[in-house]
C-alpha cells in the first residue's frame, strides 16, 4: 500500500482492508476467560465425583438393607 494512502487512512481512522488495524483482546480478559473455563471444568469434575460417590453409597445402603432384612427373616 502506498504511504500516501496509509496516511489518509490514519487521518480518517478508516480501518484498512489489509488488516493493519486489528482488534486487540486485552491479556487480562484472556486470562479471565481461561480461568472461568478452568473453574467450570473443575466444578464439573467435582459434581461428577460427588454423583459417583452418591451412587456408590446408595448401592452400599441397599445391599446392607437387603442383608439386614434377610437376617431378620431367618
| Residue 67 forms part of a structural domain | yes
| Residue 46 forms part of a structural domain | yes
> Would you give the end-to-end CA distance of the chain in angstroms?
95
| Residue 13 forms part of a structural domain | no
pLDDT by residue for the chain (74 residues), tens only, comes to: 566 666 665 666 555 555 544 556 677 888 899 999 999 999 999 999 999 999 999 999 999 999 999 999 98
| Residue 51 forms part of a structural domain | yes
Angle at 56 between CA 53 and CA 57, to 5 degrees: 85
Angle at 10 between CA 6 and CA 15, to 5 degrees: 90
**Which residue range forms the structural domain that includes residue 34?**
25-74
| Residue 1 forms part of a structural domain | no
| Residue 9 forms part of a structural domain | no
| Residue 63 forms part of a structural domain | yes
pTM to 2 decimal places: 0.54
- Could you give the CA distance from residue 74 to residue 67 in angstroms, rounded to a whole number? 11
- Could you give the CA distance from residue 24 to residue 26 in angstroms, rounded to a whole number? 6
Q: How many domains does the chain have?
A: 1
Amino acid at each position: 500500500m502506498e504511504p500516501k494512502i496509509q496516511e489518509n487512512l490514519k487521518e480518517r481512522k478508516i480501518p484498512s482492508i489489509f488488516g493493519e488495524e486489528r482488534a486487540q483482546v486485552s491479556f487480562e480478559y484472556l486470562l479471565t476467560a481461561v480461568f472461568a473455563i478452568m473453574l467450570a471444568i473443575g466444578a464439573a469434575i467435582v459434581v461428577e465425583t460427588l454423583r459417583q460417590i452418591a451412587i456408590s453409597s446408595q448401592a452400599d445402603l441397599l445391599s446392607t438393607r437387603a442383608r439386614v432384612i434377610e437376617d431378620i427373616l431367618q
